[in-house]
Amino acid sequence: MEISPKMHLTRRGGTIGSLGVLWAIGLIISVQGGMVPSATRNPNRVITYPWRGVVEMCLIITAEVFVLGWILMRPREQPLQRSRIGIAFLFLLVLCIGDLLLFSGATDLPGYMYSNALFLLVALALLVVMFLVQSLRRLKTFNTTG
């Protein structure tokens, strides 16, 4: 079945919209994580909001969403394919495992340090949903044509 240009733009818009929502969720997780201080031995110590760390984490999340979009949206002439979703899943899975082993696996860190791992888990769940939607669309197309 040939996909019309209008349907192709609608599907591409859905992917871009999903990435935008994912990016917003990542930023919210990071900003909220900044409100959770690390463990301290001095209860009288005043802890300020870690602006620099939160901004750095937001930049990391933004870069991850950019790369994820680059993987999913290539090539522009073709609709989203399950193989690209699988490649994006593997990419994020490697990042998530690395983040959990190197950064988020430690304890007593400020809350924003855990936000990237949580963001990556949400992104992996979104990719699973996208894969299932694409599989159902393909099955529906196969059943109507075959």
* pLDDT classification of 9: cutoffs 50, 70, 90: very low
Considering the entire predicted model, what is its pTM?
0.83
* pLDDT classification of 1: cutoffs 50, 70, 90: very low
Tell me what the mean pLDDT of segment 102-120 comes to.
89
The pLDDT score that the predictor gives to residue 59 is 97
Please report, rounded to a whole number, the percentage of residues in the chain having pLDDT higher than 90: 51
Produce one character per residue of 104-138: b if its CB has 16 or more CB atoms within 10 Å, e if not: beeeebbbbbbbbbbbbeebeebbeebbebbeeee
Lowest mean pLDDT among 26-30, 75-79, 89-93: 75-79
Q: Which phi and psi (to 5°) does residue 78 adopt?
A: -110, 150
